[in-house]
């Protein structure tokens, strides 16, 4: 029974997972919450692990949930289930590629649907973040300071771009590289972990 639930859940996530890893998070969250496969905390922890290890977040979550709920074969099953819709859909697209190639670029049904899905995906990602703002993840005011700092450094290269472009060449390159280094998710997670260790130990 658990195998069937795992398969159906991750098949559904693969089938409706538009817009890349972050957009898939809210789908995964709904499924693991419905069956009580992971606590909110565990879910955040595994997203953190996904950010610092190679590979797509969807695969990482499928493997982890599969293993913790049903052991090794559970992880094989969940990972296969999230790939299966891609296989069916992408292979159909490949077979129809030469037909699609001529038409899909100027088909308004296709292009407009993609455009609108991009806006929906923004909402999906926002909801994934909002659903995680809970007392279990934000235990005190320090949590909010960490949240604000990480958000600040993540958007810094984008926000500071117009300012950086005004400076003269040696500074321009230096600041650009420096800011994008500081915005690296792995660095930020490691720093947050070190901060957590010293503050909460």
Partner 1 sequence: MFFQLFWTYLKIGTFTLGGGYAMLPLIQREVVDRKGWIDEEEFLNMIALAQAAPGLIAVNSAIFIGWRIGGWKGVCGAVLGAVLPSFLIILAIAMVFQEWKELPAVEAAFKGIRPAVVALIAAPLFKMAKAAKINWLTALIPVAVALLIWLGHVNPVWVILATVFCTLVAVDIAERRRK
Within 140-159, the residues that bind partner 1 by CB under 8 A are 142-144, 146-148, 150-151, 154-155, 158-159
Task: Find the part of the chain contacting partner 1 (CB under 8 A) among 2-10, 162-170, 171-179, 191-199.
Answer: 191-199
Tell me if 194 contacts partner 1 by CB under 8 A. Answer: yes
Please calculate the CA angle 121-153-192 and round it to the nearest 5 degrees.
Answer: 95
- Token pair, residue 86, equals 């891609």
Using rule CB under 8 A, residue 27 touches partner 1 = yes
Identify which of 36, 25, 44 has the alpha carbon closest to the alpha carbon of residue 136: 44
Task: Decide if residue 55 touches partner 1 (CB under 8 A).
Answer: yes
Q: If binding is defined by CB under 8 A, does position 176 make contact with partner 1?
A: no
Q: Does 21 bind partner 1 (CB under 8 A)?
A: yes
Which span sits near partner 1 by CB under 8 A: 2-10, 38-46, 170-178? 38-46
Which span sits near partner 1 by CB under 8 A: 2-10, 91-99, 168-176? 91-99
Cβ-based burial of 113 (10 A; exposed 0-12, middle 13-18, buried ≥19): exposed
* Residue span 113-142 as binding mask against partner 1, x where in contact by CB under 8 A, dash where not: xxxxxxxxxxxxxxxxxxxxx---xxx--x
Shortest CB 170 distance to partner 1, Å: 26
Distance of CA 167 to the CA centre of its chain: 34
Stretch of residues binding partner 1 (CB under 8 A), selected from 1-9, 90-98, 165-173, 174-182 = 90-98
CB–CB of 133/30 below 8 Å?
no
Closest CA to 43 of 142, 130, 125, 132: 132
Specify whether the backbone of 107 is left (phi greater than 0), alpha (psi in -120 to 50) or beta: beta
């Amino acid at each position: 029974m658990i195998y069937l639930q795992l398969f159906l859940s991750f098949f559904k996530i693969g089938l409706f997972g538009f817009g890349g890893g972050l957009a898939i998070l809210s789908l995964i969250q709904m499924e693991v919450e419905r069956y009580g496969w992971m606590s909110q905390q565990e879910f955040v922890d595994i997203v953190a692990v996904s950010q610092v290890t190679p590979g797509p977040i969807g695969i990482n979550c499928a493997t982890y949930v599969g293993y913790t709920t049903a052991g090794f074969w559970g992880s094989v099953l969940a990972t296969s289930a999230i790939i299966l819709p891609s296989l069916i859909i992408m292979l159909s697209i490949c077979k129809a590629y030469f037909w699609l190639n001529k038409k899909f670029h100027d088909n308004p049904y296709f292009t407009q649907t993609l455009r609108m899905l991009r806006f929906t995906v923004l909402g999906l990602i926002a909801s994934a973040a909002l659903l995680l703002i809970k007392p279990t993840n934000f235990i005190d005011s320090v949590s909010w300071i960490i949240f604000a700092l990480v958000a600040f450094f993540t958007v810094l290269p984008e926000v500071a771009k117009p300012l950086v472009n005004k400076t003269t060449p040696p500074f321009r390159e230096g600041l650009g590289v420096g800011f994008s280094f500081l915005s690296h998710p792995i660095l930020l997670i490691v720093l947050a972990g070190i901060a957590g260790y010293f503050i909460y130990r």
